Chain A
Amino acid sequence: MNDQAPAAFPWPPYYGHFNFFEARMRGHGRIKAMSASAEGVYDLTLTTGVSIRVFICECYSFGAAEYVETTSKLGRLDAIIINSAWCGYTSDAKRTARAEKVGLYKIGDFMAALNRPNLWDYLNEGEKEAFKKKGWL
Chain B
Amino acid sequence: MNQAANIYGFGSYFKIHAPPPNDIDLLVVHQDVSVDSISLALQCKAVLTKILPEAHITILSKEEERELEFLRRSQAALLNTVNSSNVSSTISELAKSLRPSRTADACSYPVPSLSVSDVHEGHVWNLE
The reply to whether the CB of A66 lies closer than 8 angstroms to some CB of chain B is yes
1/0 per residue A25-64: CB within 8 Å of B?
A: 0000000000000000000000000000000000111011
1/0 per residue A1-14: CB within 8 Å of B?
A: 00001010001100
Can you name the residue of chain A whose Cβ is closest to the Cβ of B63? A92
Given A11-B56, A90-B60, the answer on whether A64 and B33 have CB atoms closer than 8 Å is yes
Whether the Cβ atoms of B68 and A61 lie closer than 8 Å is yes
Chain A interfacial residues counted at CB < 8 A: 19
Whether the Cβ atoms of A60 and B67 lie closer than 8 Å is no
Distance (whole angstroms) from the CB of A8 to the closest CB of chain B: 10
Q: Pick the contact of A69: B42, B53, B60, B64 (CB < 8 A).
A: B42
The reply to whether the CB of A111 lies closer than 8 angstroms to some CB of chain B is no
B5-26 residues at the A interface, CB under 8 angstroms: 23, 25
Can you name the residue of chain A whose Cβ is closest to the Cβ of B59? A65
Whether the Cβ atoms of B56 and A65 lie closer than 8 Å is no
For the complex, what is the distance from the CA of A92 to the CA of B30, rounded to whole Å? 13
Can you name the residue of chain A whose Cβ is closest to the Cβ of B41? A65
Given A64-B61, A65-B38, the answer on whether A96 and B33 have CB atoms closer than 8 Å is yes
Distance (whole angstroms) from the CB of B125 to the closest CB of chain A: 21
A76-96 residues at the B interface, CB under 8 angstroms: 88, 90-93, 96
Residues of A within 8 A of B123 (CB): none
Given A11-B56, A90-B67, A96-B33, the answer on whether A63 and B61 have CB atoms closer than 8 Å is yes
For the complex, what is the distance from the CA of A96 to the CA of B34, rounded to whole Å? 11
Whether the Cβ atoms of A69 and B33 lie closer than 8 Å is no
Whether the Cβ atoms of B63 and A66 lie closer than 8 Å is no
Whether the Cβ atoms of B58 and A92 lie closer than 8 Å is no
Whether the Cβ atoms of A92 and B33 lie closer than 8 Å is yes
Distance (whole angstroms) from the CB of A3 to the closest CB of chain B: 13
Given A61-B68, A88-B68, A90-B67, the answer on whether A66 and B33 have CB atoms closer than 8 Å is no
Q: Which 4 A-B pairs have the closest CB atoms?
A: A90-B64, A65-B59, A64-B33, A63-B60
Between A and B, 20 residue pairs with Cβ closer than 8 Å are A7-B53, A7-B54, A11-B56, A60-B58, A61-B64, A61-B70, A63-B61, A63-B64, A65-B59, A65-B60, A65-B61, A68-B42, A69-B42, A69-B59, A90-B60, A91-B64, A92-B33, A92-B63, A93-B64, A96-B33
